[in-house]
Amino acid sequence: MRVLHFYKTYHPDSVGGVEQVIRQMAVGTGRLGVTNTVLSLSRHQNLAPFEFEGHMVHRVPLNAEIASNAISIQSIGALARLAREADVVHYHFPWPFMDLAHFMARVNKPTVVTYHSDIVRQRHLLRLYQPLKHRFLRSVDAIVATSPNYLGSSTVLARYPDKTSVIPFGLDRTTYPQPDPDRMAHWRERVGPKFFLFVGVLRYYKGLHILLEAAAGTDYPVVIVGAGPIEHELKEQAARLGLKNVLFVGAIDEPDKAALLTLCYAVSFPSHLRSEAFGISLLEGAMYGKPMISSEIGTGTTYINIDGDTGLVVPPSDALALRAAMRTLWDNPELARTMGRRAAARFEELFTSEQMAANYTALYHDLIARRATGSSTAALEQTEAGLSQTKV
């Protein structure tokens, strides 16, 4: 079985949450006999196809970007060509240009959409996009929400109950490197023995301005891993607040990230808007057995982190509540250890790559079977109609 994934960016161009999810899907389903191909956009010059962890990656030029909507005219032809070779086309929403490309490429294969997030920020443009969005969602064969929380709170998904199911994201611990002792010693010396960790792209919806406010007036060390569009303003805010306990380490490689996840005391994930539909780095914290702090925003973050069990959940945009949660974990090491153990157990129960891969592989097979049955039924109806006309 051959599956084509289509998204605006992928490794090695970027390493965000959606890219990590597609990677885990491709690696996990690949072990179950699925041949995966990823089509994405890129600013790089050398766009020759290459193999990455057992699947092929095809890239086309990124022509323009308008309100975070990546556009590539070349992707339409590439999508049409690669879709003809695939058994299933797997889209990753939201990306408005993808919806248009689907129709322009005249994709006529079984289709599934992983619904990563509602569109939250571009409200005026969203009004213009609504007709295309719903035409696209009506046209695909299946929609997958990433958590029951998001399915229950999305007004968009509520319109498609007959074609929407839930498959949580999953991670494969074996794909994460084991940091060597020297690397561990380097980070232990740099960040100290006990610290809160944030990992992610520094975007507007991550709530990092709230984390900085929460850290003000405390001596709790906070390590912020990642780069992104609001990095400069966050550093300016930290300087204004006189924060000496917050360390921005920028973008780091996977072994360094694994070292910090191993060493950290707890994970702080203050995302305050629904654009944060799941939280892959929050899930990484659970995988590493760390207690978590997150906000209640009606999305998958509270499916990963259960308040009072695997960590603490606070109201969004509430720096005082976030500070209080940090204090609770900081002052109660045994509670933190217990929550970390429960987080790891919940990860193994619900969020492994093996479970995600098995569920998606079953869905792919079901879509192919449904399409084949539908084609057979249509062919039979046409034959019967032809025989009836002949008799007349």
Question: What dotted CATH number matches 2-172+353-379?
Answer: 3.40.50.2000
- Label residue 8 by pLDDT band (50, 70, 90): very high
* Cα separation of the two ends of the chain: 43
Percent of all residues in the chain with a pLDDT value above 90, rounded to a whole number: 84
- Label residue 291 by pLDDT band (50, 70, 90): very high
Percent of all residues in the chain with a pLDDT value above 70, rounded to a whole number: 94
pLDDT at 296: 96
pLDDT tens digits, 186-235: 999 999 999 999 999 999 999 999 999 999 999 999 999 999 999 999 99
Between CA 156 and CA 165, with CA 160 as vertex, the angle to 5 degrees is: 100
Handedness of CA 154, 66, 233, 292 (dihedral sign): positive
42-65 burial by CB neighbour count: b if 16+ within 10 A, else e?
A: beeeeeeeeeeeebbbbbbebeee
Give mean pLDDT, residues 276-300. Answer: 94
Q: What is the SS3 assignment for the chain?
A: CEEEEECCCCCCCCCCHHHHHHHHHHHHHHCCCCEEEEEEEECCCCCCCEEECCEEEEEEECCEEECCEEECCHHHHHHHHHHHHCCEEEEEECCHHHHHHHHHCCCCCCEEEEECCCCCCCHHHHHHHHHHHHHHHHHCCEEEECCHHHHHHCCCHHHCCCCEEECCCCECHHHCCCCCHHHHHHHHHHHCCCCEEEECCCCHHHCHHHHHHHHCCCCCCEEEECCCCCHHHHHHHHHHHCCCCEEEEECCCHHHHHHHHHHCCEEEECCCCCCCCCCHHHHHHHHCCCCEEEECCCCCHHHHCCECCCEEEECCCCHHHHHHHHHHHHHCHHHHHHHHHHHHHHHHHHCEHHHHHHHHHHHHHHHHHHHHHHHHHHHHHHHHHHHHHHHC
Q: Mean pLDDT, the chain, as a whole number?
A: 92
Contact (Cβ atoms closer than 8 angstroms) between residue 144 and residue 111: no
Predicted confidence (pLDDT) at residue 110 exceeds the cutoff of 50: yes
Predicted confidence (pLDDT) at residue 347 exceeds the cutoff of 60: yes
Of the candidates 255, 270, 314, 305, the one whose C-alpha atom is nearest the C-alpha of residue 285 is 305
Predicted confidence (pLDDT) at residue 385 exceeds the cutoff of 70: no
Predicted confidence (pLDDT) at residue 105 exceeds the cutoff of 80: yes
Give mean pLDDT, residues 111-122. Answer: 86
Question: What dotted CATH number matches 173-343?
Answer: 3.40.50.2000
pLDDT at 126: 67
Q: Where in the chain do CATH 3.40.50.2000 domains reside?
A: 2-172+353-379, 173-343
pLDDT tens digits, 45-61: 889 999 999 999 999 99
pLDDT at 68: 79
pLDDT tens digits, 81-103: 999 999 999 999 999 999 999 99
Predicted confidence (pLDDT) at residue 309 exceeds the cutoff of 90: yes
pLDDT tens digits, 125-184: 667 889 999 999 999 999 999 999 999 999 999 999 999 999 999 999 998 999 899 999
Q: Give this prediction's pTM.
A: 0.86
pLDDT at 377: 46
Quote the tokens at residue 239. Answer: 């300087």
My answer on whether omega of the bond before 316 falls inside 30° of 0, hence cis, is: no
Quote the tokens at residue 45. Answer: 């010059």
Predicted confidence (pLDDT) at residue 391 exceeds the cutoff of 60: no
- Label residue 123 by pLDDT band (50, 70, 90): low
Backbone phi and psi for residue 295, each to the nearest 5 degrees, phi listed first: -110, 150
My answer on whether omega of the bond before 49 falls inside 30° of 0, hence cis, is: no
Residue reference for tokens 């305050």: 272
- Label residue 14 by pLDDT band (50, 70, 90): confident
Predicted confidence (pLDDT) at residue 380 exceeds the cutoff of 60: no
